[in-house]
């Protein structure tokens, strides 16, 4: 069981394997206290990743964003209610007018938000395959080595994208002396050496 406590909420990750896309779908059950009871919502995130551990990490990270958006919407609603209460106290009864205040819409978690945080195998494959053709297993091994490097060295997604772009350039125009070193599947060491 993977769980995390964040801003008085509990995020429990429930990754599931999507057989249609042959990838993992990040999902989370998010619960929070309401007086003596707890409320919860099961959230499915649109992003797909290649490993279960990536799906867990994505679910926990995206769950935090979901909580932030929920609390932001709630605080906006509370401020609007406080403003109305202030008007009700200070304004004479005969000068009230009807208002149609609605709570703000929840900001949805979009795939674009998640894609900024996770570099998926599909992104990797689309960039690398443009240069040349590689087997699926070679691509998966290279992607796994790249994600291991990101985890070990705490690289940002921007740094990972830059390395993949540079690798694509190296793979598409390999001089004979580099041809042996820069080929798929790349190892973690190879990815680290690409600058």
Confidence at 82, pLDDT banded by 50, 70, 90: low
Please state, in angstroms and rounded to a whole number, the distance separating the CA atoms of residues 19 and 22.
5
Phi, psi of 27, rounded to the nearest 5 degrees: -140, 155
Per-residue pLDDT at 113 exceeds 70: no
Query: Would residue 98 count as lying in a domain?
Result: no
Most confident of 27-36, 93-102, 127-136: 27-36
What average pLDDT is seen over the chain? Answer: 75
Q: Is residue 185, in this structure, part of any structural domain at all?
A: yes
Q: Which residues pair with 63 in a beta bridge?
A: none
Q: Are residues 6 and 61 both part of a single domain?
A: yes
114, part of any domain: no
Does residue 184 share a domain with residue 137?
yes
Number of domains forming the structure of the chain: 2
Q: How confident is the model at residue 101 (pLDDT cuts 50, 70, 90)?
A: low
Distances from the Cα of 26 to the Cα of 8, 135, 137, 165, 185, angstroms: 21, 26, 23, 26, 27
In this structure, the answer to whether residues 18 and 62 fall within a common structural domain is yes
Q: How far apart are CA 174 and CA 170, in angstroms?
A: 6
Same domain, 159 and 80: no
> Do both 8 and 52 map to the same domain?
yes
Return the pLDDT at 51: 92
- Claim to verify: residue 36 and residue 88 sit in the same structural domain: yes
| 110 pLDDT more than 60 | no
Residue 126 and residue 65 in one domain: no
Confidence band for 173, pLDDT divided at 50, 70 and 90: low
Examine residue 46 and state whether it is found in any structural domain, yes or no: yes
Of all residues in the chain, the percent with pLDDT exceeding 90 is 24
> Do 123 and 89 belong together in one domain?
no
Range of the domain at 15: 2-93+103-109
More confident residue, 50 or 147: 50
For residue 155, is pLDDT > 90?
no
């Amino acid at each position: 069981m993977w769980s995390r406590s964040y801003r008085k909420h509990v995020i429990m990750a429930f990754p599931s394997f999507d057989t249609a896309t042959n990838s993992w779908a990040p999902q989370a059950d998010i619960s929070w206290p309401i007086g003596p009871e707890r409320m919860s919502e099961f959230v499915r995130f649109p992003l797909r990743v290649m490993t279960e551990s990536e799906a867990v990490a994505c679910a926990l990270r995206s769950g935090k964003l979901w909580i932030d958006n929920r609390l932001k919407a709630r605080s906006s609603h509370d401020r609007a209610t406080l403003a109305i209460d202030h008007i009700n106290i200070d304004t004479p009864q005969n000068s009230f007018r009807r208002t149609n205040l609605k709570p703000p819409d929840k900001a949805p978690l979009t795939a674009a938000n998640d894609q900024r945080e996770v570099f998926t195998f599909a992104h990797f494959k689309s960039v690398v395959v443009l240069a040349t053709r590689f087997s699926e297993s070679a691509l998966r091994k290279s992607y796994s080595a790249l994600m291991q490097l990101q985890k070990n060295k705490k690289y940002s997604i921007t740094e990972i994208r830059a390395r993949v772009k540079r690798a694509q350039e190296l793979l598409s125009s390999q001089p004979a002396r580099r041809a042996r070193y820069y080929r798929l599947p790349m190892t973690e060491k190879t990815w680290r050496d690409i600058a």
